[in-house]
Amino acid sequence: MHAAIKRTIGIRRGAGLYQAIASAVLAMGTLALALPAQADTVKVGVLLSFSGPAAVFGLPERDAILALQKEVAATPINGHTLQLVFFDDKTNPTEATRGATQLISDDGVVAIIGPGTGGGILAAGPIAERLKVPLLAPAGTVAITDKANSFAPWIFRVAINDQVGVKTLLGGAVKNGAKRVGVFYQEDAYGKFGNDYAQKLAGELGFEVVESVSAPYTATDLTADATKLRNANVDTVFMQVSISSLGASFLKAAQQVGLKAQIYANSGLSQKSFIDAAGPLGDGVHVLSIGNLPYDPTPPEQKLAAILEKNGEHPQGWGEVVGSNGLMAVVAALKKINGPVTGENMRATLETLCGFDTLSMGRACFSKDLHDGWLDDALVVTTIHDGKFRSH
Amino acid sequence: MIRRLPRNSLVMAVIALVICSLAPLKASWLDFAVMAGIFSLISLSAGLSYGQAGILSMAQGAFAAVGAYVTAFFGTRLGWPTLPVLALALILPALLAYCVARGVTRMAPLATALASLALANLVEIIAKSWDSVTGGYIGIAGIAPVPGFARPALFNILVWSFVVIAIIVYESVMQSAHGRALNVVRHDRTRAIADGVAVAPLLSSMLALSAAMAGAAGWLYVHYVTYISPQSLDTGVSISALLMAVVGGASYILGPVLGTVLLSLLVKFLPAAEAQGLFYGGALVIILVVARNGILGGLERFRPRSDKERAPHVPHVPAEARATSSAPSQHEEPKREAVPLSSEPGAP
Amino acid sequence: MTRGLLVRGIDVAFGGVAALAGAGIEVRPGRVSGLIGRNGSGKSTLFNCITGFVVPVKGQVMLDGVDITRRAPHQIVREGIARTFQTPRVDFRMTVREAVLCGTYATVAHGFIASALKLPRARLAERNCARATDELLDRMGLAHEAGRPLATLSMGRLRMVDVARALAAGARYLLLDEPAAGISREEQVTLAREVRKLAASGIGVLLVEHNFSLIRQLCDRITVLDGGRVLLEGDTESVMGDERVVLAYLGTRHGEEPPS
Amino acid sequence: MIEYILRGLLNGAVYALLALPMSLLFSTAGTIDFAVGGYALLAAAVASTVSGPLGLAAGLAAGVAASAIMALVFALLKRAGEAGIRIALASFGLSVALSSFVLLVWGTQPFVRSTYSTFLEVFGLRVSPQGLINLVIALVLVGGVQLLLLRTGLGRMLRAAAASPLAAELAGIAVLPLQCATVLAGGLLSGVAGLLIVYSSGLDFTASLSLTFIGFAAAIVFGIKSPIRSLLGGFAIGIIEALSAGYTSGLVTAMVPAVCILVFLIAAQLLAPNYTGDRP
């Protein structure tokens, strides 16, 4: 019980430790005195990456959920008091399974927002299937909703399927006259998928992938990669990267070796930290974005941005958007469930949610055989102008 | 220094019984027990290779990964039955370890660590790039559990019986002629050669046995987690296996198991999120500084010891790693003056 | 098939310096062969050639008709040539029995896996080694000290344990490296008695020693090394009396010219 | 072709600065410091928050402060007569703590400074001045350490301690303080490397262990004996990485450090004649 409460408070990013411990003690005190909740308390797990490489988007996701909890879930929803339980999967599949088991079996959660990475989801999937609790996964990895997996019915994607993302971005590039495309991708599941899928789309969308180069997260100098693309005289570069510093150092290397090409970056880089890192070099780069929370938010996003500001968070990028999608889906499901909430009826209800209200662009819709909640209408190809993503 | 080893296997069997009966009470305890058991096997393999054979290997995680990938590929993709897959998961890492060891056994401990670290990196990179076999970055998902041990409580028993078997094998090696020869090799290679010991094959066999243990851990891991990717059993696992062995007491048979349980508890109850690394790293430094020979080493100092009992185990660096010149430099004087002139009346 | 350890025509050079040139020695079963020479005469290099730690440039080491010159040291031990060390290289916390037991490894035939799985042949070998060790301890008069840590033993007793350890390895030829160095008078007497007993039991002994009284008591034949060459080889009396030996050992009286 | 080699050279300069502390500590104290990447990361983090020359000084100070913790741990363990492995593992603990500290205080944003937008034409190649600065700094530092080791009294004592700690101790050289000083020097050098990386390609909280491994590879390639070898090792790794990035897939680039270490260690070991150390 104690561990769960302590994690419920969660440790806000950047806040000192003393504040966290103080608030935990405070919370324990007040809770002990509170009257037993009349409405049934529904616990939902938040299993994301707060440390390790994926913390770059795990932490913003958590911050959005924490801020939203106060606004949307402060009062009981349809008689259910929503309580969130946090667990850090440390960007590691083994920790993701450990977290799933603990959240479901010990804390009795009826749904889990997370895990944060494709690998974590594939690892936790079988546990979700065995213990009958749905996972709302904020990841683009195509494989997680692949029908071949026996646990596919238990996985609901609250981000955008990578295939949809690449098709939208490269479609936009072709419209702007892209013919000879070079691919720069980071060496992980996300990067490799982008490279392979771009090759597949080449014929369909009418462009040619003339060269593709890759680099590990830790590459400190990308001039060699940029030189290779320049020598293949590409007119467009497709960047399948999610690490801001890697994206920025590619732009630096491109300028350094004189690589003149339109640059289209996938949604992994639609983060404020990418603009800060790229600086003036970022101007003119097109970045696919799930909505445009920090700069040109659509009305629902403006609401999300306001909530974040109220909680002392300034919007970073798509992390907050997909985080909020997860929570909003849970809230929408709770609204439809009367009586006790279980993993099964949560899953069944999620499959009936269509057009429920969210704080992100586009129409969210789940169905029995489509577990990808958000499609291309939630995407926009932005262009960076003087340090901001511009939607138009 | 041959220690009459207290019946470690019995002690381990009792501990395993306690764990298998208590763990099922709560699902997360069960999950913790299974994971602790699997990682005990890997840190046992580190204890065997470093604690006993003096080979500082940072590749135990890689051997476990090889065992896991072999199981995933042959078991799930090709659909082989369980037992042949288990045999393969033991033999392949052992073969890999034996070949690498033959090239490495004469190096100084730290050079061996670097070579094994490089090997672990290579295994990870191959796992990432050999898409057709290892599934590349995505890895292989949907691995069926061991037939008959699908329920976690039963699987927990299987895991801890593996740990007990590993301890039994570990102990029988250490008490056999090869175990004695190994102790002599660790103390002074030349002496061992004079006893007819073929040093390189013996050390390589020890690393191969430790790799088989890690392979078994890989087999168990992949059947429990049902998913394997390059990140699951990476270099981090190798380093923490060594840490767990050293913290528990690398030269004691039960040291690694104790170290694993302790560090796993530490990780479980540390505050999560960003500060987790700070506490974990800090705790590691403190434990390493305080418990010099690991926790079991520390405990031994307080146990009443009869005259014939050994002095606290001094971690030995094999003679040739210290002997810089080729002259038969006597290793540094043992604590007691080498040969008391008058032979005082010895103990019975 | 000529029985015995025949070492002939050994050339060894360390970086241009000829340590041995045409050196050799013979050790017959049941006989004690002495090897003497001043420090730096090449005694220990020859010793190392026989035990395989040094591979000679030229020359042959024949054991009962088998050429073991290029064999690895641990194989040579298993062939039946065991050695002792002048400065004992032991773990002083071991007991006497454990030290001798370690020697029996050379007689162990079963593999590593058999030990790991405690297969029947491994258990049988263990029993044999234990029995052989106890027999040896009785034979060498070490039984009453079996349980004592080596650190509590005097140098003389340590030497005896070293010999016992070499015998435990199933030695047919025993190479003693200055066994008398630093031991008391009575211990030399026991040492001599034991070596004589060993020779009588058919073991060929090669004794490298500076202690002339022990050489005179024990050796049937003696080889004298000087500057890496065999100065003289023959039975004990003739070698001991030979003027060149005295000269090589003691040098010339002040002012006299050494004979050409 | 020359373009890749030149880029590899510039890039390698930073690797050399990471390799230097590794080879210094390994030769004087026989142990590996896993936390070298952590010092560079902390220096980069501090330097990127405080702007201007003050930031650089603060960054270096932070790097040295972090290595002071390691020096303290080193001294405690060494006095307890410890083999190298426990110190290496403790430095790994420190590395984990440092990157978690940076994540806690600075969050996940990368540390990078926009550098010169103008470029120099060096025999027909567009090279950023930052690359040249890195090269010059690396040469100066490596040269300085080399001179210090060979020409000064302190250098002689260090080399004596490296050759045989026991003999040096008997000769009245305070070996332990010297070794701790080497750890601190390592902190300073990796701090400089961290700063250079901030101004060239930038790094974030996950970089500490990977920088350490690159430092290993560079230190090992030509052997641990002298600073010059670390410099050459750094250049070699830089050039091989650039060439392999230029001509083969990125995966091969990732393999480069690992393969170098394995090939070098096994080759060096095979060349070593047999049984030199074993003759009784």
C13-41 pLDDT, tens digit per residue, is 887 787 888 888 999 999 999 998 888 88
Measured CA to CA, the distance from residue A234 to residue A219 in angstroms comes to 22
Residues 239-278 of D with CB under 8 A from C: 275, 278
Task: Say if B206 falls within a structural domain.
Answer: yes
- Are D278 and C85 in contact (CB < 8 Å)? no
Measured CA to CA, the distance from residue D143 to residue D137 in angstroms comes to 10
First to last CA, chain C: 41
Predicted local distance difference test score (pLDDT) of residue B314: 39
B310 touches chain C (CB under 8 A): yes
Residue where the block lists tokens 């030399």: C188
- Domain extent, residue B153, equals 7-234
Nearest to A347 by CA among A328, A324, A323, A366: A366
Task: Say if B63 falls within a structural domain.
Answer: yes
Task: Say if B292 falls within a structural domain.
Answer: no
Task: Say if C260 falls within a structural domain.
Answer: no
Contact B44, B206 (CB under 8 A): no
Measured CA to CA, the distance from residue B144 to residue B127 in angstroms comes to 20
Dihedral angle, C-alpha A183, A185, A187, A189, nearest 10 °: -100
Name which CATH class applies to D2-113+124-271: mainly alpha
How many inter-chain contacts (C to D, CB under 8 Å) are there?
13
Predicted local distance difference test score (pLDDT) of residue B226: 85
Q: How do beta strands A155-160 and A135-137 pair?
A: parallel
How far does Cα B171 stand from its chain's mean position?
13
Encoding tokens for residue B213?
A: 């243990």
A171-204, pLDDT tens digit by residue? 989 998 888 999 999 887 788 888 889 999 988 8
CA angle, C179 as apex, C174 and C183 as ends, to 5°? Answer: 150
Cα-Cα-Cα-Cα dihedral sign, residues D147, D153, D155, D156? positive
- Domain extent, residue C194, equals 5-250
> What CATH number is given to the structural domain containing C97?
3.40.50.300
Element counts in chain A: helices (H) and strands (E): 13, 13
**Which residues of chain C lie closer than 8 angstroms to D277, CB-CB?**
none
Q: Is B91 exposed, middle or buried (0-12, 13-18, 19+ CB in 10 A)?
A: middle
Encoding tokens for residue A132?
A: 């009958």
A320 touches chain D (CB under 8 A): no
- Write the single-letter amino acid at D65: A
Measured CA to CA, the distance from residue B137 to residue B124 in angstroms comes to 10
Encoding tokens for residue A111?
A: 């749904």
Contact A81, A39 (CB under 8 A): yes
Q: Other CB atoms closer than 10 Å to residue A270's CB: what's the count?
A: 28
How many independent structural domains does chain B possess? 1
* pLDDT of C241 above 90: no
Do chain B and chain C touch with ≥3 beta carbon pairs under 8 Å? yes
Provide the mean pLDDT of chain C: 87
pLDDT band at A374 (very low <50, low <70, confident <90, very high): confident
Predicted local distance difference test score (pLDDT) of residue B42: 95
Predicted local distance difference test score (pLDDT) of residue B347: 32
DSSP-assigned beta bridge partners for residue A136: A113, A156
- Are D255 and B128 in contact (CB < 8 Å)? no
Measured CA to CA, the distance from residue B281 to residue C109 in angstroms comes to 47
Predicted local distance difference test score (pLDDT) of residue D271: 56
Task: Say if C258 falls within a structural domain.
Answer: no
How many independent structural domains does chain C possess? 1
Residue A106 DSSP label: I
pLDDT band at B63 (very low <50, low <70, confident <90, very high): very high
| Region C225-240 average pLDDT | 85
* pLDDT of A36 above 80: no
Q: How do beta strands A180-186 and A208-215 pair?
A: parallel
Max mean pLDDT among B207-221, C114-128, D36-50, D70-84 falls in B207-221
**Which residues of chain C lie closer than 8 angstroms to B187, CB-CB?**
91
Predicted local distance difference test score (pLDDT) of residue C235: 86
Q: How do beta strands C229-235 and C221-226 pair?
A: antiparallel
- Are C48 and D278 in contact (CB < 8 Å)? no
Segment (H or E) for A264? strand A262-265
How far from B106 is each of B199, B211, C41, CA to CA, in Å? Answer: 9, 19, 31
CA distance B276 to chain C (A): 40
Predicted local distance difference test score (pLDDT) of residue A303: 86
**Choice between D163 and C148, residue whose per-residue pLDDT is larger:** C148
Measured CA to CA, the distance from residue C27 to residue C220 in angstroms comes to 10
Task: Say if B328 falls within a structural domain.
Answer: no
When scoring B125, B225, B237 by the number of chain A Cβ atoms within 10 A, the one with the most, hence best to mutate, is: B225
| Region A55-66 average pLDDT | 89
Among chain D residues, the shortest Cα distance to C85 is held by D280
C73-113, pLDDT tens digit by residue? 999 999 999 999 888 888 888 899 999 999 999 888 888 88
Predicted local distance difference test score (pLDDT) of residue C135: 92
Q: What are phi and psi of A210, to 5 degrees?
A: -90, -25
Rounded (10°) angle between helices C155-168 and C120-139:
140
Q: Which residue numbers of A have CB closer than 8 Å to B's CBs?
A: 3, 6-7, 10-11, 13, 17, 20, 50-51, 55, 59, 86-88, 90-94, 97-98, 101-102, 104-106, 118-119, 122-123, 125-126, 141, 143, 148-151, 187-189, 192
How far from A207 is each of A184, A234, D56, CA to CA, in Å? Answer: 16, 11, 47
Nearest to A293 by CA among A277, A312, A274, A306: A306
Task: Say if C259 falls within a structural domain.
Answer: no
Residue C95 DSSP label: B
Measured CA to CA, the distance from residue C126 to residue A101 in angstroms comes to 48
How far from B48 is each of B40, B44, B251, CA to CA, in Å? Answer: 12, 6, 8
Q: Other CB atoms closer than 10 Å to residue B27's CB: what's the count?
A: 17
When scoring D10, D109, D208 by the number of chain A Cβ atoms within 10 A, the one with the most, hence best to mutate, is: D109
Predicted local distance difference test score (pLDDT) of residue B311: 39
Residues 133-162 of D with CB under 8 A from B: none
Task: Say if B130 falls within a structural domain.
Answer: yes
How many inter-chain contacts (B to C, CB under 8 Å) are there?
123
Among chain B residues, the shortest Cα distance to A94 is held by B232
Predicted local distance difference test score (pLDDT) of residue B219: 95
- Are C116 and B176 in contact (CB < 8 Å)? yes
**DSSP of A143-207, one letter per residue?**
GGG-TTSTTGGGEEEEEE-HHHHHHHHHHHHHHTT--EEEEEEESSHHHHHHHHHHHHHHHHHT-
Measured CA to CA, the distance from residue D133 to residue D123 in angstroms comes to 17
Measured CA to CA, the distance from residue A50 to residue A58 in angstroms comes to 5
Task: Say if C255 falls within a structural domain.
Answer: no
CA distance B168 to chain D (A): 27
Task: Say if B154 falls within a structural domain.
Answer: yes
- Write the single-letter amino acid at A88: D
Of D4, D119, D242, the CB nearest to A256: D119
CA distance B45 to chain C (A): 14
When scoring B171, B184, B329 by the number of chain C Cβ atoms within 10 A, the one with the most, hence best to mutate, is: B184
Q: How do beta strands A286-290 and C81-83 pair?
A: unpaired
Residue B75 DSSP label: I
First to last CA, chain A: 50
Contacts of A182 (CB under 8 A, 6+ apart): A209, A210, A211, A212, A213, A229, A232, A234, A236, A237, A238, A261
**Which residues of chain A lie closer than 8 angstroms to D111, CB-CB?**
245
Among chain B residues, the shortest Cα distance to D88 is held by B110
Measured CA to CA, the distance from residue A389 to residue C178 in angstroms comes to 87
Of D107, D200, D211, the CB nearest to A13: D107
Task: Say if B266 falls within a structural domain.
Answer: no
CA distance D279 to chain A (A): 46
DSSP-assigned beta bridge partners for residue A236: A181, A262
Measured CA to CA, the distance from residue A296 to residue D101 in angstroms comes to 34
- Are D280 and C85 in contact (CB < 8 Å)? yes
Measured CA to CA, the distance from residue B140 to residue C257 in angstroms comes to 89
SS3 state at A86:
strand
Residue A91 DSSP label: T
- Are B141 and A10 in contact (CB < 8 Å)? no
Predicted local distance difference test score (pLDDT) of residue A156: 92
Of B110, B281, B323, the CB nearest to D94: B281
SS3 state at B144:
coil
Residue B47 DSSP label: I
- Minimum mean pLDDT range among A73-82, D105-114, D182-191: D105-114
Predicted local distance difference test score (pLDDT) of residue B142: 79
DSSP-assigned beta bridge partners for residue C176: C207
**Which residues of chain D lie closer than 8 angstroms to A217, CB-CB?**
206, 210
- C251: region left, alpha or beta (phi > 0 left; psi from -120 to 50 alpha): left
Residues 76-105 of B with CB under 8 A from C: none
Q: What are phi and psi of B148, to 5 degrees?
A: 90, -15
- Minimum mean pLDDT range among C95-104, C247-256, D83-92: C247-256
**Choice between B6 and C232, residue whose per-residue pLDDT is larger:** C232
Predicted local distance difference test score (pLDDT) of residue A145: 87
**Which residues of chain D lie closer than 8 angstroms to C177, CB-CB?**
280
Task: Say if B344 falls within a structural domain.
Answer: no
D280 touches chain C (CB under 8 A): yes
Predicted local distance difference test score (pLDDT) of residue C33: 92
- Are B197 and C105 in contact (CB < 8 Å)? yes
How far from A6 is each of A28, A68, B129, D24, D104, CA to CA, in Å? Answer: 8, 19, 41, 46, 18
Segment (H or E) for A249? helix A244-257
Measured CA to CA, the distance from residue B156 to residue B38 in angstroms comes to 10
How many inter-chain contacts (A to B, CB under 8 Å) are there?
103
Of A3, A93, A105, the CB nearest to B232: A93
